[in-house]
Chains A and B, each alone.
Chain A
Amino acid sequence: MAAIYLANPSRFLTLVNRVLPWLAAITIALFAIGLVRTLHAPDDYQQGATVKIMFIHVPAAWLSMMGWGVMSVAALGTLVWRHPLADVAGKAAAPVGAAFTFICLVTGSLWGRPTWGTYWVWDARLTSVLVMFLLYLGVLALYWTAEDPGRGSRAAAVLTLVGAVNIPIIKFSVDWWNTLHQPASILRMGGNAIDPSILWPLLIMAAAFTLLFFTLHLGAMRNEILRRRVRSMRIMQAQEARA
């Protein structure tokens, strides 16, 4: 029912305008708590203070995957239900997801220098995240080249779903190829392997990043709706001027 109610962009905009300040405030509060807890988290006995990069790196990596998940759901909404907002949601999620993937790559590279002794290695995790970043850029390129927003978003939706099938395959093939990055240590068989003094700040930071994603996503959706309105108003103006 809500999906039908929100199909009207004006209703959606009113809702966004009401929700967005609260969401932004909670995001800032969570970041404040998370950063303070991060500062008080103990240093690693081997890596020293550089381990704090983790509190940015790991949430960004999680959100880079969630970004593609949001885009895939939006792609299904575009192709199957033709929901007018799904297409806006997919377009708005792509740059945000690409930005988080980029943050993940950059922080990982900066962390790799002191701990591994190199900014970049062709290791499985790094390479699969890099390929995912390239896929994000491919989707963005598709949006940039399409003249008609509707057509571009349907093409991007097809590519997003193809990518959703392919990302696990790429991940496993790359895993099989080479490895240096540590394996998963939180969601794994036999429970997590992280001390609570580090786990809690990490989870708070992850929550803050997730809310940041949705704040940026909703803001970008609002901007996209307004941009489309400006576009159609310009077209109408041009037609009036000709007539």
Chain B
Amino acid sequence: MNAFVALLLRDIRLSVRVGGGALMGALFFLIVVTMMPFALGPDLNLLARIGPAILWLGALLATLLALDRLFAADHDDGSLDLLMMGGTPLELAVAAKAIAHWLTTALPLVVVSPVLGLMLNVELRAIGMVALTLLAGTPALTFIGLIGAALSVALRRGGLLLAVLVLPLTVPVLIFGVAAANAAIVGPAPFGPPFTILCALSLASLVLGPFAAAAALRFGLE
């Protein structure tokens, strides 16, 4: 367990210090959301209607772009090999890295999303709920993306391949995330069912993601 905490703290430290780029994802999120009204026109009613969808898409793309860094640096400097040879189960080490990644890239997205929701004319009372759906759903995005990151680092290919592999798998998260956010804003469907399914998706990928990613690393880098 000590190794788990140590790895978690190491990854957090690496990403918040100079050159880590922890807040780059949040900045990207801000820019993507700002671009939307330029493409769609500044009609506030339209923006209010599709605001949750824009926030979810922006969060999905921001998470995806940051995934490249999850294993690449560790693979380049050899620390990934040390992790694979070390006494800690690789699944646990991979999970620690993913949690650190979520804390440094996805959590800032959740924190800034209320401000962006305000810019998209999302109703005030619903803004908190939309942020809550992001908080519940982004772990699923990170842990599904973890599998893609492991596969692409094992093949020494990143970028577009990662997006092609990961995006189709995130369809359910997007559907239930947007459904829960829309239920919070316009109703009439209740907020509970899609939100609990979203939580279930996050918990399931929290369990399955590290195993699949560890398998991909083992088979790819042996």
Contact = CB atoms under 8 A, between A and B. Distances in A.
Contact of A137 (B164, B171, B197): B164
A169 B168 CA distance: 12
A224 B172 CA distance: 35
Contact of A79 (B147, B165, B219): B219
Contact of A142 (B165, B168, B215): B165
Q: Is the contact region of chain A dominated by helix, strand, or loop, or is it mixed?
A: helix
Contacts of B175: 173-174, 176-177
B171 A155 contact: no
Interface in B100-139: none
Interface of A: 79, 131, 134-135, 137-138, 141-142, 145-146, 151-152, 154-155, 157-159, 161-163, 165-166, 169-170, 173-174, 176-177
Contacts of A162: 147, 169, 208, 212
A78 to B, nearest CB: 9
A155 B154 contact: yes
Nearest to B172: A173
Contacts of A174: 171-172, 175
A158 B151 contact: yes
Nearest to B194: A176
B155 A155 contact: yes
Contact of A161 (B154, B169, B212): B212
B37 to A, nearest CB: 24
15 contacts: A79-B215, A79-B219, A134-B164, A134-B168, A141-B161, A142-B155, A146-B155, A155-B151, A155-B216, A155-B220, A158-B151, A158-B216, A163-B169, A170-B169, A174-B172
Interface string B202-222: 000000100010011001100
Given A134-B168, A145-B155, A174-B171, 19 more contacts: A79-B219, A135-B168, A135-B169, A138-B164, A146-B155, A151-B220, A154-B219, A155-B154, A155-B219, A158-B215, A162-B208, A162-B212, A166-B169, A170-B168, A170-B169, A173-B176, A174-B175, A176-B175, A177-B175
